[in-house]
Amino acid sequence: MTHDSFVTPGRPHHLQLSDGRRFAWCEWGPPDGLPAVFCTGAAMSGTLGFGVLQLMDVGVRLIAPDRPGLGRSDAHPGKTLLSWTQDVRQLLDHLGQQTAVGVGFSQGAPFALALAATGVTLATAVVSGQDELAHPRVRPHVHPDVNSMLNAIDADAERFEQHFAGFATADGLWDLILGMSGPEDRAFYRQPAFDHAYRRALQEGFSQGASGYARDLVNALRPWPFAVEQITTSVDLWYGARDTSTVHAPDFGRTLASRLPNATLHLLEHEGGALLWTRAAEILRTLCARAAAVPTRT
């Protein structure tokens, strides 16, 4: 594993959306490559990419937006999974891109699937992704701590969001991630270069406070405003059997795969939750192959 891939800075950009908000992103790879919208994990800015050293070879332009209220993107008080897709559509229009693929890591999974559900992307990779934990087929299997959050959101989502925003911090989230990780993932995350890059992305994600993250959390945990069953584009689900995170899919994507009409589940026996970085080349090449198989839009 080359540490340079963790600290290689992305090219920072921003645009002004139609409602006047600033929307920021970082990108890596060839400017004329296949655009891949990277939906980052919880509270992360877009400064930590993945597979950076492979992007030129696979021909991918990795685009990692700061979700509204995180990093350099202005907050959107009414942010939903569907408003996110409108922001990304404006970004792709700004870049002159008619086609793109999506990648969702951890809490970024519902944001990536929302892009697929609304036709913004033509193929998707979900990596160590959160499932729709409020779904009746999934909820009985979630961790009790996560179920307590689901109950609180059911009772009063606005109150939960405000309460959560009052105490969440970047350091606290990093400690939580390490605490939920198995030994293989902890060893990977604690590599000095990766530790620095991930913590930097979290610090940037919290630079406006915790409200943006709290809104993302509520949007990700409540029932999603689109039907997973109606996503007809290809979705590759990547999970490591040694992933011990309580906020990822509790059955390693099996239920999610059964709900998606065109899903392929990759359950890797010797991987944990960090496979976005440990298997980056394989994930990117598979995503490019899916995109190449899609008929050209007219």
Q: In sequence order, what are the residues at sequence separation of 6 or more whose Cβ sits closer than 8 angstroms to the Cβ of residue 124?
A: 101, 102, 103, 104, 112, 113, 115, 116, 231, 233, 234, 235, 236, 287
* In contact, 234 and 113? CB cutoff 8 Å: no
Q: What pLDDT is attached to residue 8?
A: 76
Residue 9's pLDDT band, with cuts at 50, 70 and 90, is: confident
Mean pLDDT of the region 235-256: 98
* In contact, 46 and 60? CB cutoff 8 Å: no
Tell me the domains of the chain and their CATH numbers.
4-292 (3.40.50.1820)
Q: How far apart, in whole angstroms, are the C-alpha atoms of residue 172 and residue 25?
A: 24
Closest CA to 105 of 230, 226, 218, 245: 245
Count of CB atoms within 10 A of residue 32's CB?
8
Assessment of whether the complete model's pTM goes beyond 0.95? yes
C-alpha distances out from residue 90 to 19, 120, 150, Å:
11, 10, 32
Mean pLDDT of the region 163-188: 97
Mean pLDDT of the region 70-97: 97
Q: What pLDDT is attached to residue 297?
A: 60
Q: How far apart, in whole angstroms, are the C-alpha atoms of residue 248 and residue 191?
A: 22
* In contact, 174 and 186? CB cutoff 8 Å: no
* In contact, 26 and 46? CB cutoff 8 Å: yes
